[in-house]
Structure 1
Amino acid sequence: MRSSRFISAATLRHARNWLFVGTVLASGAVFGPACGVAHAAEDESASLDVLEQQMARIQAEQRELAKTMLSMQKQIAAHRAALMHGSKPGTPGSHHTLTAHNTAHTTAPEDSRGWSEHGGDGDMGTGTTTTAMNTHTGHGLHHVTGPDAQPVFSGTTDREVDSVIGHRAEDIISRIAENGVGPHARETVGAQAAGALGDHGIFHMGPVTLILGGFLDASTVLANRHVASGTFNYWQDMPYPNESRYHTNNFEGSARYSRISLMARGNVDAHSTISGFYEMDFGAGAATTDAYESNSYAFRMRQLYMAYDNSDWNFHFLAGQAWSMLTPGRIGIIPRQESLPETIESSMLAGQTWARQLQFRFVKDFLQHRLWLGLSIENSATLYDTTGFTNNDGTVTLPTGRTATISSNGTGLTNDAPFSNEIAPDVIAKVAWDPSWGHYEAEGILHFPHDRVASVGTGRNNTAIAGGGGGSMVLPIIPHKLEMRLAGLAGVGIGRYGSVLLPDATLKSTGEPVPIPSVQTTGGIIAHPTPLVDVYGYFGYQAAGRRYSNYEGGSYGYGNPNYSNAGCEVELSTLGCTANTRSVMEATVGAWYRFLKGKYGTVEAGAQLAYSRRDAWKGQGGGPDTSMSQIFLDFRYLPFQ
């Protein structure tokens, strides 16, 4: 075997010894019952105790043998991959150390080439460990075959494959990780934001595997403006000089963004897997939440979905609440592999494209998992701007004397807040390409703003067609060390898919919905100088166009030049300051340091500097602007990663 010379002598001796012990004990297991029967006449109870102890020893030895064999298998696969990519084990580019028990890789993305699969029921302590090995020399990976083959979930030290892709014939994640981008390292903040699972805290309940994830978070922000949103930036509330909070600093800290996740998965048959994913935090505010004593934030749903994956058809289905398929990704079109910034701020970055919402997603991959096509039917919600109109809980009074109904307040078990009228879901399509270098996506969306305009005894429904397109890419400038990320989306009626939450639509003076043009884009450089440090720099931008009307001396719509901005620059001015947001930009740099990492999990600290600027559309008295500088600090404990 070509790579065997790279395995240490200690590893081989260790494996040989365990193989010998396992053989002896297995032989003892054959004769043990006969001896037990012979002694039963004298002391049946003692004989049964001895038999049970012998069985326990055999099981323990089998577990140790399985772990040793898995360690050898991972090392062989890792060094085959290193040879395929032109680096030798032990050199600076390989990040692999050959020891018998060094299976807890800390360099993350490189480890994807060392992931493997095994047969059995998924529990190394009780499952069958004798499997047929199949080496794909074109990819430097080991795979196993057989009707029960499945991804490895090896307890407390071995990194498991991203299990929502349940292929047993070959490991999709490992194969397409050869694009130089690779799957998220589980301990990075980008992976945490996407909903990464742990590689500790893995349990087996019969045929179902349970995997824990999440972290405990303590974050703070110090800003030179008072925006009462904590580490979640709500940029449209950045004050202008006419407000006193523009002239004061603000400090706020919370543990509310601590998170817990759980995935359950099981094999339906030899080619298909079913999984369910739960992710929750405390980001919601309850009616009893106060910032003076209890700080009792509410438990909320972030993601909650089921997924079905079939390796025979190369088909993937997802149903439930997850990151929108518009969210940029890193690999294929795969849940929990979203390309999200490593920022501390929970709103991530101005201009970032994302939403978490109900969807029914259908994905097919081709060309050995290099080309991916996806179609997603997702929950729609139109974010209206009604500047100039009188809006009474979604009932808008028009200058024509009619009323337009654009939303209704929630009832029953929903919040008493506006829920927009929608006639159809959003339709999103995406194509992803994973060649030998980089990850590339193109996407499009259709959205249908809808309202009803009525007067006494008569009315009509109005539906507009909105949408747009964009794409993203991840460029591994130095694979697993330095990468560039670029993403963008442009169109009309899609402002809510950006972090700034610019409006999707406004109304004509006659009440019909008018989609507002918008654009959002982000770019970033992310470096991993050591396995313990991540450094990043991002720039984000989001802007909205003008859509307005004038009727009998009245001004309506978004960005109307007749609006008064005369009082925006004077503190406590009684003059007007409409100041519809034209654009928001953010530039930020930061770093994360994982200063503790072991079987107990990972402890990391982060620091981030951010500068944001908000510009308004010009009106009477000019177009004001405002800015904000922030310092973020964070400590996180990831017990399962």
Structure 2
Amino acid sequence: MIFSRFLHHTSPFLLTSTLLATVSISSLITSTSALAAAGNSASLDALEKQMARIQAQQMELQKTLISMQKQIAAQRAALSPKGHKTATNHTITARSTTPATNRYEWADSNEGPSGKPRTATAMNTRPPRHLRNGDTSEAQPVFDDTNARPEVDAVIGHRDEDVIAHLADNAVGPHPRETVGAQATGALGDHGVFHMGPVAIILGGFLDASAVYENRHIPSGTFNYWQDMPYPNEPRYHTNNFDGSARYSRISLMARGNVNSHSTISGFYEMDFGAGASTTDAYESNSYAFRMRQLYLAYDNSKTNFHFLAGQAWSLLTPGRVGITPRQESLPETIESSMLAGQTWTRQLQLRFVKDFFQHRLWLGLSLENPATLYDTTGFQNNNGTVTLPNGSVATISSNGTGLTNDAPFSNEIAPDVIAKIAWDPSWGHYEAEGIVKFPHNRVSSLGQGHNNTVVAGGGGGSMILPLIPHTLEMRMAGLAGVGIGRYGSVLLPDATLRANGSPAPLFSAQTTAGLIAHPNPRIDVYGYFGYQAAGRRFSNYNGSPYGYGNPAYSNLGCETELSTLGCTANTRSVMEGTIGAWYRFLKGKYGTVETGIQLAYSRRQAWKGVGGAPDTSLSQIFMDFRYLPFQ
């Protein structure tokens, strides 16, 4: 009876509204043809007003549909047997997947339509609080039936979501697209979207002008090469330095298409100008070379919850922030392009297989990644990867590139690095544990004979993100320890040295980072980090001569005296960095986003003790940056 009365009252309104919408759309099509011919500003304004009226009518229809849904739910509850559970208190989330179509999904406050625990996805999650003050980057209107009035964050979507895997709500969530953390991982924009048949082309990237002022002369620009921090024996220890460049400007592109209703394939390109070239000079042209940062294809299946990635991407060892999802790596918001001492990362070729379980709460990943071993050959005679051993034999650890590769050492490898990760997304926080196994390999030769050497190395670690104030203040912590894994840290400490017989001797390595990151409003990011990376030592003495890494027989007598000839071997034992900084987006609109950042950093390098002591040195820096993001 109640339902009949409801239909009696609402049917005329629905019919009238539908007719009005139909008439409006018909008149809009007619008007568009006429106004397109006119092509003046007044005509375009009139067209926009008519579109706004149609949108208002659509909103009224939505309110009516929501009211009907509540009545249907109430009637079903009344008619159901006692104790039978019915779905109530639903929210309809409307999202524009393309400029021409809307997609509606159920998101229950406690349960989904099938009675399963609620999970959030990149398409049905209400935008976090800090994205609601005029930011349309999420482009998803939300209609809440609790008061039968629509709350609209954005009426028209400008692009497809670049997070395509379904994700559980962990109060951390994907990177807010406008933040520098998202930019670091390869966030796509919402202004540069093109549709070529069934394929969407989405642009991203920025124009970047950054500079650093530091109290030591380290000729690496805003890329910190901490192992080159000078000791007082070098003149550049005693002089300040300023350097700036636009070389870390970036462009990215994603091509994405739906294979069917539950699977998607995508290709992602990300480039910058961070590579040097033989013709690059710092006196005239500053012509840095275009380089590949990321280049991979990805396949995602939402029916089987299986994900595959092939190509160059951030290593699976890199900490993440939700699930195991590309472009959701947890990278520091720093200006320095080397990021942070102790940060775990590489970008390299990989075949990655990921499966998620329990409504996207538990993720398991396995990755086969391109291997490399960074050797330290202090004490040995090293001629482009051919190392002369104390017994007269020769160990071949690397060779310079030939053909189309660059003229730099490529280590001799026998198998890929094998990396496994487990990620857990409860309702509060993101937690990861990972492990790596690798196989350093070389050959030792003497006249007419030789043998190969392979050793097993690896380690493990983990990371977590704690949303102290969800979407406003979070704490990040990460660490990795093991043997032979130094190259996976920003400081690039060595993976291994050599034994006196020439076989690889993996070095102990440990690295850790911790930070607090705040987003007090959509225009500001504030951060503070501490990072630390250390290397162990392995050495030998043969016929009175020292070999290996961190040998206490090495001379450090001249490290504290400018232009001393007494020697300063100073193998690095550890590097630490503390830094604070902030970003401010002072312009944001249809033209994109313009932001500026400043960062203060203090680093300290300590050497292994040798003859003359254990020297240390420090570095203080001020980083400055202006960045224009045309697609954000």
The interval holding the TM-score normalised by the smaller chain is 0.7 to 0.9
Q: Secondary structure at the match of 1:179?
A: coil
Cα separation, 2, equivalents of 1:17 and 1:457:
95
Identify the residue that residue 162 of structure 2 maps to in structure 1. Answer: 163
The answer to whether the Cα contact below 8 Å between 1:565 and 1:579 also exists between their aligned partners in 2 is yes
Counterpart contact for 1:66–1:124, Cα < 8 Å: no
Query: What residue in structure 2 maps to residue 296 of structure 1?
Result: 287
Q: 1:463 to 1:243 in 2, by over 3 A?
A: same
2:122/2:164 contact within 8 Å kept: no
Equivalent residue number for residue 108 of structure 2: 136
Task: Quote how far apart the aligned CAs of 1:123 are.
Answer: 3.5
How many angstroms does 1:136 deviate by?
3.1
Matching of residues 325-344 of structure 1 within 5 Å: 325-344=316-335
- The partner residue of 1:476 within 451, 467, 475 is 467
User: Where does 1:105-120 land on structure 2 (aligned, <5 Å)?
Assistant: 116-117=94-95
Query: Which of 499, 519, 522 does residue 510 from structure 2 map onto?
Result: 519
Report deviation, 1:124: 2.2
Counterpart for residue 67 of structure 2? none
Rate the CA distance shift 1:238–1:135 in 2: closer, same or farther, 3 A.
Answer: closer
Q: How far apart are the structure 2 equivalents of 1:359 and 1:541?
A: 27
Which of 113, 117, 124 is the equivalent residue of 2:99?
124
CA distance 1:495–1:74, shift in 2 (3 Å): farther
Contact 1:152 1:161 in 2 (8 A): no
Distance 1:377 1:65, change over 3 A: farther
Q: 1:52 to 1:227 in 2, by over 3 A?
A: closer
2:298 pairs with one of 303, 307, 320: 307
Q: Is the 8 A contact 1:386 1:506 kept in 2?
A: yes
**Residue 376 of structure 1 corresponds to which residue in structure 2?**
367
CA deviation after TM superposition for structure 1 residue 27, in Å:
6.1
Instruction: Rate the CA distance shift 1:634–1:393 in 2: closer, same or farther, 3 A.
Output: same
Q: How does 1:603-618 map to 2 (within 5 A)?
A: 603-618=594-609
What CA deviation, in whole Å up to 9, does each residue of 1:14-40 have, x standing for no partner? x9999665311556799x9xxxxxxxx
1:269-284 matches, within 5 Å, as: 269-284=260-275
Give the aligned partner of residue 489 of structure 2: 498
- TM-score, length-normalised on structure 1? 0.81
Please tell me whether the aligned partners of residues 134 and 144 of structure 1 are also in contact (alpha carbons under 8 angstroms).
no
Q: Distance in 1 between matches of 2:248 and 2:429?
A: 32
Distance 1:484 1:24, change over 3 A: same
Question: Matches of 2:58 and 2:563 in 1, distance apart?
Answer: 69
**Structure 1 residue 189: deviation in Å?**
1.2
2:587 aligned residue: 596
Equivalent runs, 1:220-259 vs 2, <5 Å:
220-259=211-250
Partner in structure 1 of residue 23 of structure 2: 24
Query: Structure 2 CA distance, aligned partners of 1:514 and 1:348?
Result: 29
Native 8 Å contact 1:116 1:161 kept in 2: no
Number of residues of Structure 1 aligned to a counterpart in Structure 2: 555
TM-fit CA distance, 1:158:
3.9
The correspondence for 1:196, drawn from 176, 182, 187, is 187
Which residue, 428, 441, 445 being the options, matches 2:432?
Answer: 441
* Distance of 1:581 and 1:72 partners within structure 2: 68
Asked if structure 2 preserves the Cα contact closer than 8 Å seen for 1:410 and 1:417, the reply is: yes
Task: Determine if contact 1:18/1:65 at 8 Å carries over to the other structure.
Answer: no
Q: SS of the residue aligned with 1:268?
A: strand
8 Å Cα contact 1:566-1:576 kept in structure 2: yes
Q: CA deviation at 1:61?
A: 9.6
One-letter amino acid matched to 2:556: N
Q: Which amino acid aligns with 2:162?
A: S
Cα 1:282–1:195 shift into 2, 3 Å: same
Q: SS at 2:227's partner residue?
A: helix
The AA in structure 1 aligned to 2:608 is: W
Judge conservation of contact 2:172–2:465 (CA < 8 Å) in 1: yes
CA distance in 2, matches of 1:153, 1:280: 29
Selected match of 1:633 from 621, 624, 628:
624
Structure 1 alignment gaps of length 5 or more? 1-14, 33-48, 77-112, 146-150, 167-171
Change beyond 3 A, Cα 1:143–1:475? closer
SS of equivalent residue, structure 1 residue 587: strand
Rounded to whole Å, the distance in 1 between the matches of 2:612 and 2:391 is 28
Alignment CA distance shift 1:67-1:519 (3 Å): farther
- 2:596 matches 1:570: no
Separation in 2, partners of 1:223, 1:518: 28
What is the alpha-carbon distance in structure 2 between the residues aligned to residue 529 and residue 386 of structure 1?
Answer: 49
Matched, 1:547 2:546: no
Q: Which residue of 1 aligns with 2:83?
A: none
Measured after TM superposition, the shift of residue 141 of structure 1 is 7.1
Deviation at 1:67, TM superposition (A): 6.2
Deviation at 1:352, TM superposition (A): 0.2
Does the CA-based 8 Å contact 1:286-1:297 persist in structure 2? Answer: yes
- Equivalent residue number for residue 346 of structure 1: 337
Q: Given that residues 28 and 51 in structure 2 are in contact (C-alpha distance below 8 angstroms), is that contact kept between their aligned partners in structure 1?
A: no
Q: Deviations over 1:175-195 (max 9, x none)?
A: x2x211111011211111111
Please give the alpha-carbon distance, in whole angstroms, between the structure 2 residues aligned to 1:185 and 1:315.
24
Deviation at 1:71, TM superposition (A): 8.2
Report the Cα distance in structure 2 between the residues aligned to 1:382 and 1:365, rounded to whole angstroms.
32
Give the Cα separation in 2 of the matches to 1:349 and 1:71: 48
Q: Does 1:364 align with 2:364?
A: no
When the two chains are superposed, the root-mean-square deviation of aligned CA atoms in Å is 3.3
Answer yes or no: is 1:206 the counterpart of 2:197.
yes
In 2, Cα distance between equivalents of 1:143 and 1:486:
24
Shift in alpha-carbon separation, 1:67–1:124, aligned structure 2, 3 A: farther
User: 2:402 corresponds to which letter in structure 1?
Assistant: T
Cα distance in 1, alignment partners of residues 192 and 468 from structure 2: 34
> Is the Cα contact below 8 Å between 1:584 and 1:612 reproduced in 2?
yes
Structure 2 residue identity aligned to 1:124: P
Does the 8 A contact of 2:92 with 2:105 survive in 1?
Answer: no
Query: Is 1:401 the counterpart of 2:392 in the alignment?
Result: yes
CA contact (8 A) 2:458 2:482 kept: yes
Instruction: Indicate which of 443, 446, 453 corresponds to 1:462.
Output: 453
Q: 2:441 aligns with which of 438, 442, 450?
A: 450
Q: Give the direction of change, closer, same or farther, for the CA distance of 1:153–1:202 in structure 2 (3 Å limit).
A: farther
In 1: Cα distance, 2:61 partner to 2:485 partner: 49
1:69–1:231 Cα change, 3 Å: farther
**Stretch deviating more after TM superposition (134-143 or 414-423):** 134-143
Q: What one-letter code is carried by the residue in structure 2 that aligns with 1:455?
A: S
User: Is the alpha carbon distance of 1:344 and 1:72 closer, same or farther for their aligned partners in structure 2, counting shifts above 3 Å?
Assistant: farther
Match of 2:114 in 1: none
Equivalent AA in structure 2 for residue 543 of structure 1: A
In structure 1, C-alpha distance between the alignment counterparts of 2:546 and 2:63, rounded to whole Å: 70
* Residue 97 of structure 1: aligned partner: none
Give the conservation status (yes or no) of the 8 Å contact 2:556–2:612: yes
Amino acid across the alignment from 2:368: I
- How many Å separate the matches in 2 of 1:486 and 1:235? 21
Taking the aligned partners of 1:184 and 1:71, their CA distance within structure 2 comes to 30
Alignment of 1:28-67 (within 5 A): none
Give the CA deviation at 1:533: 1.2
CA distance in 1, matches of 2:122, 2:608: 59
- Name the % identity: 71
In structure 1, how many angstroms separate the alpha carbons of the residues matched to 2:94 and 2:292?
33
Which residue in the other structure is 2:177 paired with? 186
CA contact (8 A) 1:222 1:251 kept: yes
Q: Measure how far apart 1:134 and its partner are.
A: 3.3
- 8 Å contact 1:116–1:143 — kept in the other structure? no
For residues 168-179 of structure 1, the aligned pairs below 5 Å read 172-173=166-167, 176=168, 178-179=169-170
